Chains A and B, each alone.
Chain A
Amino acid sequence: MEQFFDRLSEKLYQSVIYDNRWKMYLEGLSLTLQIAVVAVIIGVVLGIAVAMVKTSAQGSKNPILRFFNVICTAYTTVIRGTPQMIQLLILYGISAIPNGVIACFIGFGINSGAYVSETFRSGIQSVDGGQMEAARSLGLTRWQAMTSVVLPQAVKNVLPAIFNEFIMLIKDTSIAGYIAVNDLTKNTNSIRGRTYDSTSLFIAAGIYLILTYILTQILKRLERRFRKSDRN
């Protein structure tokens, strides 16, 4: 027993304290969070745009709108139908973006946008059609009605889902190391390579778990507050 604890503390020392390795976890975590935050912002902007095009194009004969609709459909089909890692490697590989971190911002953002657009689309469709009609009946354009009446209600409806997307992104970004980005997973693996020991992986798993657990609890509280405000 004593021997076991001795070996464990030695492993922890090697994986955390020695050579200031704990800094690598923190630096990696910081980068992971940065990528997730920027990606979710890009994703939300793209997602709203795509959702607006798709819902507006429904039943519309406007050729410009239909053109954009084709582009948006192609975008969501391709992104959702191919592995995210391949997308990331292509983005990095075409060397238009030699900086891995920026490639991650864009790559994860574009990927997230394709999924989030469906969330926003259902959010927009969940807003009663009478809201748009009433706005149009007052002479507002479709765009004005969308931005001042429908979209604010849709965003409120899907906010918990977007927050959940952010939680998912934190884990999904763990493939960033494949394009030489020193995120939490990559740094952890580097430590493993130096210590010839898997303890660091458990530490990283713990960090991911604690982070997503805390965020999930915040999300639950957020949802409860929203349900309450909807009731009255």
Chain B
Amino acid sequence: MIEISGLTKRYGDHVVLNNVSEHIRPGEKVAVIGPSGSGKSTLLRCLNLLETPDGGKITFDGTEITDPRCDVNEVRRHMGMVFQHFNLFNNLTILRNITLAPVKLKIKSEEDAKKDALALLARIGLSDKADTYPAMLSGGQKQRVAIVRALAMNPKVMLFDEPTSALDPEMVGEVLDLIREVAREGMTMVIVTHEMGFAREVASRVVFVDEGNIKETGSPRDVFDSPQDARLREFLSKVI
């Protein structure tokens, strides 16, 4: 579904991603782990071109999205993204947050979008918040709304950029539960996370990124129980 080959990203002289290649298959749940500053978030952000790669190729669903002629906006409609800091639109109600993109991009009519949004809100138990503004919500509620906002576009893949890192500890659970549920429905997902327990449980594959490279990849059991790479062993010994 997503084919990455030779992906390189630099900030000035600093090489963040160095010749990364990876293939994400339909239905896979890929957890990307690694130390801070290793480039894992940058890797994720390159997938929907929030960061412009300096080299290499990314193909999504048969389209080369790194091609300058590629319609980036069209590609992004099919890739949902969830951010560390939620990024709900502060000037819009919760309902409008969810319906904005589908209506503006003429994917759904105003009514259909509203109906779908209300159904999504019911699903996460926040129907009563439809007409309030993001500032009135807790962090966990905001992140759950952000997830269904992405789902409202019916994406083919969901990208999660440290979805629980900015949350108070007692709110992590509700967000992980929702991500788990989305995973169970068969969504293809790439999750950058520090939650090792969650990665082990939900991921079908774990990718370890360090110093701008994928150092090791494999099933959660292989990666967590019998890590091969020395840096991965050191990393795991610190976080688990």
Choose from B90, B92, B101 the contact partner of A139 (Cβ within 8 Å).
Answer: B101
Q: Does B136 contact A (CB under 8 A)?
A: yes
Q: Does A141 contact B (CB under 8 A)?
A: yes
Q: Does B2 contact A (CB under 8 A)?
A: no
* A and B contact pairs by CB, cutoff 8 A, 14 listed: A130-B85, A131-B89, A131-B90, A136-B73, A136-B76, A137-B48, A137-B50, A137-B79, A137-B80, A138-B80, A138-B100, A138-B153, A141-B73, A144-B104
Q: Does B87 contact A (CB under 8 A)?
A: yes
Residue numbers in A under 8 Å from B150 (CB-CB): 137-138
| B positions within 8 Å CB-CB of A | 48, 50, 73-77, 79-81, 83, 85, 87-92, 100-101, 104-105, 135-136, 146, 149-150, 153
Residue numbers in B under 8 Å from A197 (CB-CB): none
Q: Which residue of A lies closest to B81 (CB)?
A: A137
Q: Does A7 contact B (CB under 8 A)?
A: no
Shortest Cβ gap from B4 to chain A (Å): 18
Shortest Cβ gap from B38 to chain A (Å): 21
Residue numbers in B under 8 Å from A139 (CB-CB): 73-77, 101, 105, 153
Q: Is the CB of A148 within 8 A of B104?
A: yes
Which 4 residue pairs across A and B have the least CB separation, nearest first? Answer: A134-B87, A139-B77, A138-B101, A130-B87
Main secondary structure of the interface of A (DSSP, over half): helix
Give complex CA distance A140, B73 in Å: 6
Choose from A149, A156, A232 the contact partner of B89 (Cβ within 8 Å).
Answer: A149
Residue numbers in B under 8 Å from A148 (CB-CB): 89, 92, 100, 104
Give complex CA distance A149, B48 in Å: 20
Q: Which residue of B lies closest to A138 (CB)?
A: B101
Q: Is the CB of A138 within 8 A of B77?
A: yes
Give complex CA distance A130, B50 in Å: 11
Q: Does A98 contact B (CB under 8 A)?
A: no
Q: Is the CB of B76 within 8 A of A232?
A: no
Q: Does A133 contact B (CB under 8 A)?
A: yes
Q: Does A152 contact B (CB under 8 A)?
A: yes
Given contacts A136-B76, A138-B153, A148-B100, whether A156 and B83 have CB atoms under 8 Å apart is no
Give complex CA distance A203, B226 in Å: 89
Q: Is the CB of A136 within 8 A of B50?
A: yes
Q: Is the CB of A152 within 8 A of B153?
A: no
Residue numbers in A under 8 Å from B74 (CB-CB): 139
Residue numbers in A under 8 Å from B48 (CB-CB): 137
Give complex CA distance A156, B105 in Å: 25
Q: Is the CB of A134 within 8 A of B76?
A: no
Give complex CA distance A193, B203 in Å: 87
Shortest Cβ gap from A8 to chain B (Å): 55
Residues 3-62 (chain A) with a chain B CB within 8 angstroms? none
